[in-house]
A and B are shown apart, each in its own frame.
Chain A
Amino acid sequence: MIAGRSSAVFAVAFAAAYAVLYVVAIQYNLALFTYHPASEEFHFLVKPAADQPPMYWYGWMATSALGALAFAVAVAALPAPWTARIWSGWSWAVPLAAMLVFGYILRGYFIR
């Protein structure tokens, strides 16, 4: 039962943290690595190229996944009474909010 409770806390914390970190990673371009598709090269962290478009999407996901994993493991390790009242709905409410944020960030594509 304790393991089950920890799994629930981990799942909710990971979903919420990943969504927040993904938005932050994009807003501040915190990609763990950069891919240059024309030359098919990976580079650690953010590395723009003068002669080709860089791709940060993979790096943003890696940053978010690693950060969310660390956060969720830490939260799941907290004493059960501290996490007993965590709302399971954070697992969908935060990603939903992140989706709305992206709609706002990218509104320029649709209202020109």
Chain B
Amino acid sequence: MIVVLLIAHALFAVTLLGAITHQTIGVWTPAKRPAASFVDRMRSVSPAGYAGAIIVLYIATAALGAIIYPNYRLNVRIVLEQMQLPKANGSFELKEHFVALGLGMLPAYWYFWRQPATDYGRTRAVLTALLAFIVWWGFIVGHVLNNIRGFEA
């Protein structure tokens, strides 16, 4: 069961990563001419359209992570300590705190993305970038830790 939840957590995280990366690129470097290349097409997405999906995906990914966290606490963290890998442990500690702080930012993120495009542009852009950083940090740390420890079926 824990393997199924871990894979679901990873799949939600990948989807969230794609959505928030598109939104961040779209809001920070919007395309000013018709999209011709792959990069231009990423820049020309409508960032506002991602906000609702990102909130749902963020909460779902965090909830799945919270469900499998006790398993990590009992079976992975102790092993990392025995293997004397403090950077790996510290990276996960930062991940849990960053994700928690991201949850607290979601009401503001939701509110400011519902406002007209001409209002609160900087606030919206920075909130999105911070959430993108948190998602990328969480994804990379989770991936690396899974590579270190793996999982037992």
Residues of A within 8 A of B (CB): 7-8, 10-12, 14-15, 18-19, 22, 26, 35, 37-38, 40, 52-53, 55, 57-58, 60-61, 64-65, 68, 88-89, 91-92, 95-96, 98-99, 102-103, 106, 108-110, 112
Contact = CB atoms under 8 A, between A and B. Distances in A.
A37 B69 CA distance: 9
Nearest to B137: A99
A92 B94 contact: no
A14 B103 CA distance: 11
Interface of B: 66, 69-71, 73-74, 77, 86-87, 89-91, 93-94, 96-98, 100-105, 107-108, 110-112, 120, 122-123, 126-127, 130
Nearest to B123: A88
Q: Is the interface of B mostly helix, strand, loop or mixed?
A: helix
Contacts, number: 102
Given A18-B104, A92-B105, A109-B93, 17 more contacts: A10-B107, A11-B107, A11-B112, A18-B105, A26-B97, A37-B70, A57-B96, A65-B104, A91-B112, A91-B127, A92-B123, A92-B130, A95-B102, A103-B94, A106-B94, A108-B86, A109-B91
8 contacts: A14-B107, A19-B101, A55-B69, A64-B104, A91-B108, A99-B97, A99-B130, A109-B93
